Chain A
């Protein structure tokens, strides 16, 4: 059984305050130092911090980075996260370029890319999720929950696009 998660990392940017504790926690776990540049997720800040968007690898189902990596270094691991195999990565950044979110981070130490492994070696939730406990912008959900949420979202979007006609008062 893979540890903690076959769970999906869910982002709610509305709740993100831009505190960047997630970046700290991530770099601490993976590199043993507090260094946002080495974190596998990034918080984009817009409008002086009024809008914050955590960006993290979505482990796309048909991930373009896996198909375009010339070294076959991008691979899916047991918990479904897609990671860079550092022994094969040559730092060419194909995965950065092809990612629709620009999620992969280039490690300043060796030029190889880093993406979220959902803390695959840890028990319990990923460290970024723990760090985000107060805001709740980052959460893990099961695959089923994620699907349910997606269809709820779609239904809401459809309702917004096609508002129900007001019935004439009887």
Chain B
């Protein structure tokens, strides 16, 4: 079997190395748009912030590919797929045949249509190459456009490097996809406390500068700066598949075995649209653990195991300086258009905050700051199992002796939502 993988990222490597362990004899080739062994995009902000040396971002070294006989073709972004001929063309014009093809080329940075966005001094940290340029650029005042997890991490990194940092967010609160306003406002206050300026409900109109960036102009003010970081989200890479006639929606569409609409072509990672493992709804979470799990399902299908993918799960942390926050499942906003009785359980104790979202008595999501984060894993478990919160309340305080299949888990859950021991 000749397996061709497009993308040398988290998903592509997981497929390749998993496959190699199971099949010592098949041919495995990875087409890479970049010139590095596998690195972890999640680690990039911490290398920029000098928390770790650059080496620490890598998940593989060159030798790993040699040892596992995985052919890595650098600087060869795929430009076209011909499913009928089973062939992929790359930018330098080479053609690669395959028996099975895996699309694992992730997503690309969303570049908002802002005047001046191509100026010198406008950066991103989606890929190692761009992170390297940001790391080496030097400067003293930065504006981060977008306040998703990547924007917040980039802001912290630059603050640690001594920059004056401003975050500009178009929507009304930061981390809008991950947290509810109640949680976000606390996080924004903490960012301000660390000396990072946070501007919400503000639209960037243009980036000014002669040769180099000199300011960001919003609908409310002009912010002088020498560095701009674009962190406005990641769009799934679907054009390559779409042009080849493969079904796409928000991302590349796949069946339960992660096969695309074209036979013999699989897809995994940030480029696919899947379902939420808990709710069965369409999901586009673009998180590392989902990329890894999807890649393993693809690899198992390639070796003939009919593995089905149970779905993706939303889980993310927000961490800067001494602030530790986490979110999982759905936000209140995401549940608002749904039927069913919602209950928001909140604990608010100084720096510590807990927000659990339940629908019809079942946990569907949650957010925590500070010490409540220590028990968030128990709530994630309760969401997976669909534990009934009303039962925990009703059986309290006999929960440990009788009345629960997960006695001490439920006891801790009960205490966390404020039931008294």
Task: Name A's B-contacting residues (CB within 8 A).
Answer: 13, 44, 46-47, 51, 53, 64, 67-68, 70-72, 87-88, 90-94, 96-102
Contacts of B376 in A (CB 8 A): 97
Give A94 to B368 CA distance when docked, in angstroms: 12
Q: Digit string of B164-185 for contact with A (CB within 8 Å is 1, else 0)?
A: 0000000000000000000000
Q: Digit string of B32-47 for contact with A (CB within 8 Å is 1, else 0)?
A: 0000000010110010
Instruction: Say yes or no: is B317 at the interface (Cβ < 8 Å to chain A).
Output: yes
CB nearest to B287 among chain A residues:
A68
Contacts of A70 in B (CB 8 A): 40, 42-43, 46, 288, 317
- Chain A to chain B: the 5 pairs with minimum beta-carbon distance, closest first: A70-B42, A67-B289, A92-B319, A97-B326, A99-B377
Contacts of B408 in A (CB 8 A): 13, 44, 46, 51, 53
Query: Which residues, 317 to 351 on B, are CB-close (under 8 Å) to A?
Result: 317, 319, 324, 326, 328
Instruction: Say yes or no: is B262 at the interface (Cβ < 8 Å to chain A).
Output: no
Contact between B40 and A98, CB atoms less than 8 A apart:
no
| Cβ contact of B324, chosen from A46, A87, A93, cutoff 8 A | A93
A51-B400 in contact given A46-B411, A68-B288, A97-B317 (Cβ < 8 Å): yes
Contact between B421 and A67, CB atoms less than 8 A apart:
no
Shortest C-beta distance, A106 to chain B (Å), equals 8
A-B contact count (CB 8 A): 82
A101-B377 in contact given A46-B411, A67-B288, A70-B288 (Cβ < 8 Å): yes
Number of interface residues of B (CB under 8 A): 33
Contact between B46 and A102, CB atoms less than 8 A apart:
no
Contacts of B407 in A (CB 8 A): 51
Contact between A46 and B46, CB atoms less than 8 A apart:
no
A88-B289 in contact given A51-B400, A70-B46, A97-B315 (Cβ < 8 Å): no
Residue pairs across A and B with Cβ atoms less than 8 A apart, 29 shown, are A13-B408, A46-B411, A51-B408, A64-B289, A67-B292, A67-B293, A68-B289, A68-B315, A70-B317, A71-B52, A72-B40, A72-B59, A87-B52, A88-B52, A90-B51, A90-B52, A90-B319, A92-B324, A93-B317, A93-B324, A96-B374, A97-B315, A97-B317, A97-B326, A97-B328, A97-B376, A100-B380, A100-B381, A102-B377
Contacts of B293 in A (CB 8 A): 67
Contact between B51 and A97, CB atoms less than 8 A apart:
no
Contacts of A51 in B (CB 8 A): 400, 407-408
Contacts of B59 in A (CB 8 A): 72
Shortest C-beta distance, B160 to chain A (Å), equals 11
Contacts of B148 in A (CB 8 A): none
Contacts of A67 in B (CB 8 A): 288-289, 292-293
Shortest C-beta distance, A164 to chain B (Å), equals 22
Query: Which residues, 12 to 47 on B, are CB-close (under 8 Å) to A?
Result: 40, 42-43, 46
CB nearest to A53 among chain B residues:
B408
Contacts of B256 in A (CB 8 A): none
Shortest C-beta distance, B151 to chain A (Å), equals 15
Contact between B288 and A88, CB atoms less than 8 A apart:
no
Instruction: Say yes or no: is B90 at the interface (Cβ < 8 Å to chain A).
Output: no
| Cβ contact of A93, chosen from B43, B288, B326, B421, cutoff 8 A | B326
Contact between A98 and B319, CB atoms less than 8 A apart:
no
Query: Which residues, 277 to 312 on B, are CB-close (under 8 Å) to A?
Result: 288-289, 292-293
Give A91 to B321 CA distance when docked, in angstroms: 10
The residue in A51, A53, A68 that gathers the most chain B C-beta atoms within 10 A of its C-beta is: A68
